[in-house]
Homo-oligomer: A and B are copies of this chain.
Amino acid sequence: MTDKKYVYSFGGGSSEGRADMKDLIGGKGSNLAEMASLGIPVPPGFTITTEACAEYYQSGKEQLLERIRPEIEQHLQKLEELTGKTFGAGPNPLLVSVRSGAPVSMPGMMDTVLNLGLNDETLEALIKLTGNRRFALDAYRRFIQMFGDVVMGIKDKDEYNHEYNPLHWAMDQVKEELGKELDTDLTEDEMARVVEACKETYKKYAKEEFPQDPKDQLYRGISAVFNSWNTPRAVRYREINELRGLKGTAVNVQTMVYGNMGDDSGTGVAFTRNPSTGENKFYGEFLLNAQGEDVVAGIRTPKPLETMQEIMPEAYEQLCDIRSKLEAHYQDMQDIEFTIEQGTLYMLQTRTGKRTGPAAVCIAMDMMQEGLIDEKKAVLRVPPNDLEQMLHPQFDPQKIEQAEFLAEGLPASPGAATGRAVFTADEAEEWHERGEQVILCRMETSPEDIGGMHAAKAILTSRGGMTSHAAVVARGWGKCCVAGAGDITMNYGQRQFTAHGQTVKEGDWLSIDGTTGKVYLGQVPTIEPKLSGRFAQLMELADKYRRLGVRTNSDTPEDTEVAIKYGAEGIGLTRTEHMFFEGDRIISFRRLILVAQTVKMLNDKISSAGEDEAEADRIRQKNKAVLDQYQRALDELLPYQRHDFEGIFRELAGRPCTIRLLDPPLHEFLPHDEAGQKAMAEQLNVSAEEVKATVESLNEFNPMLGHRGCRLGITYPEVSEMQVRAILEAAIKVKREQGLEVRPEIMIPLVGAEQELKLTRERAEAVVQQVLQENNCQADEIPYLIGTMIEVPRAAITADKVAEHADFFSFGTNDLTQMGCGFSRDDAGRFLGDYVKLGVYERDPFQVLDQEGVGKMMEMAVSLGRGSKSNLKCGICGEHGGEPSSVKFCHRVGLDYVSCSPFRVPIARLAAAQAAIAEEQ
């Protein structure tokens, strides 16, 4: 025997274990030990360590049991002394439960044996002791069933090859013979028949009599719990939940107490505060004369905890004291289990209680005000993602239960919405203009659908994942979206979809829940989120502690307004391309695209002519029509763009605004179907063939790696120049007319090489200077910056050089992930599921920043960039900017701000504060 301690006792007012020994004695064991130490009544017992479990597998099962036997016997003896009972013998027999207790909760994964220590002899003693034969017999049959199931693994298959437990079947047989339906209908004698039937069945399957030696029962029980650690089911559970580095399960051997010993007994579960609302009120359920498992099984309906106050005032008062003691001790809301055995209260479990988002906020703020925790702890207490629930409308929980479920997809963008089904983006816009509330239903969406997506109340797609076009765009807008509802079959032709035999036609009402992914038929009422005072208080605290700035991604004045309400300190990303889709602009822009390649060719020719101005003029004259058409399109777009920026600048009222120049490849702006091309041809008064030819000539093998971003600006400088002009003109106008400060930050996308930025910056700078001059601007009237996105790996790697031409870096982590990891967001669905399952990436890198790889590129870029320009401003505008663990990473690598969709601004503020506090500690 080694010196190592394998067994820790608890109960009787003291414990060998502590709450912080979870790794060694498991979650249940450590909390029982802690409660006992606090003087809280706990049925005494002892815990066998997780190390014992580990050695059970390493050094042989029998060897380990032999090694720890003396220590167990010693603790058993101590337990007998403490309780005044005798294990498996005497007039007052000691009965115990044997339960698993891993360091991390693995609900339902591992095994438990209750009432261990019963045999034919102690049964009689128990009958005498309690004067309750039926109770004792019932306990015995439960023990035989559990032992047969858990320890012996008794099972059988029926004619349909389905597994069943013969020990339960034996009881059911007896009940059937007796014509009794419920267990509680059985009389004492009938229960005795059940015990006999169970024993016989046990013998038939186990090829032995039911074991009568309590120690034999105990060691076999302990082994069974150890064995349950490594069932395929448990191993798989740990894999899926990424529970790594655990030694094994502890085993808790604890004196049995019974809540079903009459009307002075009972059992209950409770939360020390309301887990739904956070209200500081004791909240739970109680069942008279019942065992804990009865509450769980739902056979009888438990009563609210308050009822206990009348029935058992003393026990209730004691319980309230314990509640205060536990909260004071754990400094958090607790989830507890208790049993009252003949008037005596025992605590069986305490653990930190799960809660809703609103409850988390409420509890943290209340506890802070109560002086239980300090400000920092209060900030750390709320999981940032929990705030999401508070920011979107929800279906009325009362009504949703009656709603008719239709299909389920991915919870792509949270919130709840009702509307009438439409099947094309155009219809969505038309219906919306008529004042209808619509839900756009598509197989998948594309940039062409932007207008309709914006007009719709919510979006439903039958294909695509969490990062499909629909999902990304909807999240950006905080618009409800269910994506990839695979049960739905869209039929555009007939303007309807079917799901599980139901057909939904154009105009039918739908209700979709982007938080759960569920789709319902008809109109389910929603409730609007209320941002309580406590929410505001938490946000104030977050702002007090965070160092990281929080901006928003927004393309419209409306979104900007929402984001500012949620605390955004500026805009980190305005995508100008969305602006090209609205109304007439798309016509002008398509006219421009139609001749862009020709113009580019002409410009090349003109520039080749070099000093030969006459030749250049000749080219210009000869191609006047096409050059004019190009210029006219640009002239038409300029006021639109200017107007867009004016609205945003006004809303921002002096806050900075990062505006990204045109990014997507041009073909995204053209219709790809025949009908769309025909319509475009008519609108532009050209042949459909010409449109088709342009679409085809712009077609790309890998659009993600294609002709887009700053590459567009380099080949078609006129478009960028128009955009830069629109930005500056809008800035000057708002500054002069409204007297508001305007701080535009012009962002050049997709830079991979120093020279790209240098060139594009020089051209932009020239336009800026020209506009400033035209308007007689003072040097500092419009304090503008010009910077770049870092989204191409090469730019991150050579950031020292890129920084020489940048006032700021903004990490486009979506694309940096795509190029850095080498997978396309649109295509990765085929393998990314497997990848996360197999642990290639711990989480989907498009949702949670891949810190090890993509994050390392960011770190390199920040450090190289600031190495050559110490005051380089660094931010992030990828979707990761609103994901808590990614925000914390951004804090750690020293970014200046994160930018995220309006609805994630509060989440980012809280995550940033938590990162700052964590760093301090």
Contact = CB atoms under 8 A, between A and B. Distances in A.
Nearest to A817: B794
Given A231-B611, A831-B707, A831-B711, A797 B824 contact: no
Contacts of A841: 753, 755
A705 B838 contact: no
Interface string A592-629: 00000000000000000011001000100000000000
A657 interface: no
Interface in A729-755: 750, 752-753, 755
Given A797-B857, A830-B715, A831-B711, A823 B706 contact: yes
A366 B231 CA distance: 78
Contacts of A707: 827, 830-831
Contacts of A857: 793, 797
Contact of A853 (B797, B826, B852, B853): B797
Interface stretch (A10-18, A88-96, A556-564, A695-703): A695-703
A39 interface: no
Interface string A766-799: 0000000000000000000000000111100110
Given A702-B703, A706-B824, A834 B793 contact: no
Given A715-B831, A857-B797, A824 B618 contact: no
Interface string A416-458: 0000000000000000000000000000000000000000000
Contacts of A821: 752-753, 792, 794
Size class of the A contact interface (CB-based, 8 Å): 35 or more
Contact of A798 (B752, B756, B794, B853): B853
Which of A611, A704, A840, A850 counts the most B-chain CB atoms under 10 A from its CB?
A840
A824 B700 contact: yes
A755 B822 CA distance: 15
A753 B840 contact: yes
A819 interface: yes
Contacts of A714: 831, 834-835, 838, 840
A675 B916 CA distance: 63
Which of A161, A705, A819, A854 counts the most B-chain CB atoms under 10 A from its CB?
A705
Nearest to A613: B232
A715 B834 contact: yes
Interface string A704-738: 11110001001100000000000000000000000
A128 interface: no
Contact of A822 (B236, B750, B831): B750
A838 B828 CA distance: 35
A399 interface: no
A334 interface: no
A821 B231 CA distance: 48
Interface string A196-224: 00000000000000000000000000000
A707 B703 CA distance: 16
A835 B854 CA distance: 27
Contacts of A818: 705
Nearest to A615: B161
Interface in A352-399: none
Within the oligomer, what is the number of copies of this chain?
Answer: 2
Which of A715, A830, A835 counts the most B-chain CB atoms under 10 A from its CB?
A830
A711 B824 CA distance: 13
B826 A759 contact: no
A464 to B, nearest CB: 11
Interface string A102-146: 000000000000000000000000000000000000000000000
Nearest to A841: B753
Given A714-B835, A840-B753, A827 B793 contact: no
A442 to B, nearest CB: 16
A748 to B, nearest CB: 13
B824 A755 contact: no
A823 B706 CA distance: 6
Contacts of A343: none
A530 to B, nearest CB: 41
A826 B701 contact: yes
A671 interface: no
B755 A838 contact: yes
Contacts of A793: 793, 797, 819-820, 822, 857
A856 interface: yes
A823 B701 contact: no
A909 to B, nearest CB: 30
Interface in A513-560: none
Contact of A700 (B233, B236, B759, B827): B827
A798 B701 contact: no
A839 interface: yes
Contact of A611 (B233, B838, B852, B853): B233
A755 B856 CA distance: 17
A157 interface: yes
A822 B752 contact: yes
A187 B375 CA distance: 109
Contacts of A820: 752, 792-794, 797, 819
Nearest to A794: B853
Contacts of A792: 820-822
Which of A233, A618, A819, A854 counts the most B-chain CB atoms under 10 A from its CB?
A819
15 contacts: A232-B611, A233-B611, A701-B826, A705-B818, A706-B823, A711-B830, A715-B830, A715-B834, A755-B840, A756-B835, A759-B838, A759-B840, A793-B793, A797-B857, A819-B820
The 8 closest A-B pairs by CB, nearest first: A702-B824, A705-B824, A793-B793, A792-B822, A794-B853, A232-B611, A701-B826, A755-B840
Given A703-B827, A705-B822, A793-B822, 10 more contacts: A700-B824, A701-B703, A711-B823, A711-B831, A715-B831, A755-B840, A791-B822, A793-B797, A801-B852, A819-B819
Interface of A: 157, 161, 163, 231-233, 236, 610-611, 614, 618, 700-707, 711, 714-715, 750, 752-753, 755-756, 759, 791-794, 797-798, 801, 815, 818-824, 826-828, 830-831, 834-835, 838-841, 850, 852-854, 856-857, 860
